[in-house]
Amino acid sequence: MTHGFRLPSPFFGRRQTPGRPSFLTQAVFRVFWTAIWLMAAGGAVFLAGCQGPGLPDNLAQSYLVTDHGDWLEAVDCAGRNLALVPWETEVPPGFIPQRVIRIPVKRVVAASGTYDPGIIMALGELSVVVGSDELPENWYLPEILEAFRSGSLEFVGLWDSLDFEVIRRLKPDVILSSSLQVAQTLESLGFVVAVTYSHVNNDLDNRIKLFDFLGALLGRRSEAQALTTELKMTLELVTEATKGRPRPQISWGIYFNNRVYPLNGDFWLSQIFEICGGDYVLSTLKAGSMELNLESFLVASAQADIYFASVLYEGEVKTKADYLGYHPELSRLKSFGPGGRVYMPEAILFQDTGRLSDMVKEVAAIIHPEIWPDRKLKYFRELL
């Protein structure tokens, strides 16, 4: 049995095979298929315990970092306690070797998609990332592309089929994993692992706390605090600027095999839509509610002023008409009519993850162009 399901990965914004999903689709589908496999593997109890008010204390404290003087204790995304110990400091009792991370880490394998390397880069330590489970051709950040070209960064296999020999050769101080099951396999092989991704811990607050978690691993907590402060100031700015203004309705959907995969209401980007003065029409969807039949989606999104779409087909899509050529049923949505707006997320949206402040500003400018009319788009492009 494999660890999950990985969809094909054609370039985002380039020519694509009909029916094959874009890089962005994979980013959202990683959430969906990880959940499905966890359920199938007997993780239903674990997932059920992650969604209600009765969260286990250690899981509710994901990414919490506690200072014990000469060492740090951190809780990863799976609720596992880790000892972060400086290289010359004695290891505290009570931790198995695979839960002891020597800090600052010098070599990291990111088996967690594109989220962690973007934050590590923003913290000024991209050079420590020596392995990635994302194919080189799926990356768009120039710094990471250059790392692959120079050989300082290597592909280590897909997250559900990692090449353990390559990882062993890279001698990582820690592997960042997107799956508890994969992490357990890696631990059984003697690797030190931290789980940094989960569909039940993917809200904005946990995205912010991840800054400090990774900062602690890298010896860059002050830089992490600077990123957090900048983001919180930006969130306050857009909240104040949009207060009392009309709230455009927003929908997001990836249409694949006659099913629609929206963002959950507790996903970090959905929450940014709301903070930036929008009304996300699928905000009641929670982790685990990851697909809708087409009719339910069309009814929920009918009055959306703004629609965010993804590319799933051959050829360039530059206009609403181009998009409707593939999905004519979406013509029922207000956003595809006169005065409505449709945006295509760029692949970099789920890669430049350390720059959440910039993403917030761009989303705010899309939702309220009357406030920020001159904002140039980097993470989205409009279909006219």
Per-residue confidence (pLDDT) for residue 199, from 0 to 100: 64
- Region 195-219 average pLDDT: 88
Superfamily of domain 229-383: Nitrogenase molybdenum iron protein domain (3.40.50.1980)
pLDDT in tens, 163-174: 999 999 999 999
Per-residue confidence (pLDDT) for residue 72, from 0 to 100: 97
C-alpha span between 358 and 355 (Å, rounded): 5
Q: Report residue 292's pLDDT band, with 50, 70 and 90 as the boundaries.
A: confident
Higher pLDDT, 159 or 101: 101
**Token pair for residue 302?**
């009918």
C-alpha span between 335 and 328 (Å, rounded): 13
Of 58-62, 117-121, 198-202, give the lowest mean pLDDT range. Answer: 58-62
- Region 318-339 average pLDDT: 91
Q: Quick check: 291 and 261 in contact, CB under 8 A?
A: yes
Per-residue confidence (pLDDT) for residue 312, from 0 to 100: 53
Q: Which helix (H) or strand (E) holds 60?
A: helix 57-60
Nearest of 198, 308, 254 to residue 7 by alpha carbon: 254
The structure's pTM equals 0.83
Q: Report residue 200's pLDDT band, with 50, 70 and 90 as the boundaries.
A: low
Phi, psi of 69 (to 5 degrees): 95, -85
pLDDT in tens, 107-120: 999 998 888 999 99
Q: Quick check: 294 and 260 in contact, CB under 8 A?
A: yes
Q: Report residue 3's pLDDT band, with 50, 70 and 90 as the boundaries.
A: very low
Question: How confident is the prediction for the chain on average, in pLDDT?
Answer: 83
Q: Report residue 340's pLDDT band, with 50, 70 and 90 as the boundaries.
A: very high
Q: Quick check: 251 and 301 in contact, CB under 8 A?
A: yes
pLDDT in tens, 223-267: 999 999 999 999 999 999 999 999 999 999 887 777 788 888 888
| 8 pLDDT above the threshold of 80 | no
Q: Quick check: 59 and 79 in contact, CB under 8 A?
A: yes
Q: Quick check: 230 and 359 in contact, CB under 8 A?
A: no
The CATH class that applies to domain 57-219 reads alpha beta
Higher pLDDT, 197 or 280: 280
Per-residue confidence (pLDDT) for residue 290, from 0 to 100: 65
Residues of the chain with CATH 3.40.50.1980: 57-219, 229-383
DSSP-assigned states of every residue in 143-200: HHHHHHHHTSSEE---TTS--HHHHHHH--SEEEES-HHHHHHHHHTT--EEE---TT
**Token pair for residue 133?**
């489970």
pLDDT in tens, 272-290: 999 999 999 998 887 655 6
